[in-house]
Amino acid sequence: MTKMIKKGVLALAIIAASPHTLAQYANVEGTYSSPGGLFLQVIVLDIQKGDIAATTTVVQGACSGTVAGLGKVVGRKMTFTPFTKEENGEACTITVEFDKPFKHGKIKGESCMVYSGVACGWEGGTVTKGK
């Protein structure tokens, strides 16, 4: 009887842990924005592996830019690179550091100036998830 109880407890623990693990990546999906003209759209492609498709746009006055691509979420950090490389462009990488509930994210673009121009970019902007 004790062995049966142990198996039951183990099965319950596994079942209880599984949705949380899967939900972690599912929670990142959605539309994020900021009053400063930053936008982020995330679609989760594989909730177990953290594979995503994302688009981020910056609009600041007459300056604007967009990066769309595929990437991955690991823990609270999402990174993605553009589908297409701009001519004379470096290897652009967008990184988003999320808070624990995936409600806010801080966006950073590395070597992405060719996608937005000199006057605007993704450097350290914070976005909030819409409802």
Sequence ranges of the domains in the chain: 2-129
Q: Which amino acid is at 102?
A: F
Evaluate if residue 3 carries a pLDDT over 70.
no
CA 104, 108, 109, 113 dihedral sign is positive
| 69: phi then psi, degrees, rounded to nearest 5 | -175, -170
Q: Which whole number is the average pLDDT over 84-91?
A: 74
**Which has more pLDDT, 22 or 92?**
92
Compute the distance between CA of residue 121 and CA of residue 35 in angstroms, rounded to an integer.
14
Please report which confidence band the pLDDT of residue 113 belongs to, taking 50, 70 and 90 as the band edges. confident
Count of Cβ atoms closer than 10 Å to residue 74 Cβ: 11
**Residue where the block lists tokens 């060719």:** 114
Q: Which whole number is the average pLDDT over 91-108?
A: 94
Please report which confidence band the pLDDT of residue 108 belongs to, taking 50, 70 and 90 as the band edges. very high
Q: Which whole number is the average pLDDT over 78-84?
A: 93
In this predicted structure, what is the pLDDT of residue 67?
A: 93
In this predicted structure, what is the pLDDT of residue 36?
A: 86
Compute the distance between CA of residue 63 and CA of residue 20 in angstroms, rounded to an integer.
40
pTM above 0.85, yes or no: no
Share of the chain above pLDDT 90, in %: 50
Tens-place pLDDT, residues 7-52: 444 444 444 444 444 556 889 999 999 998 999 999 999 988 999 9
Share of the chain above pLDDT 70, in %: 80
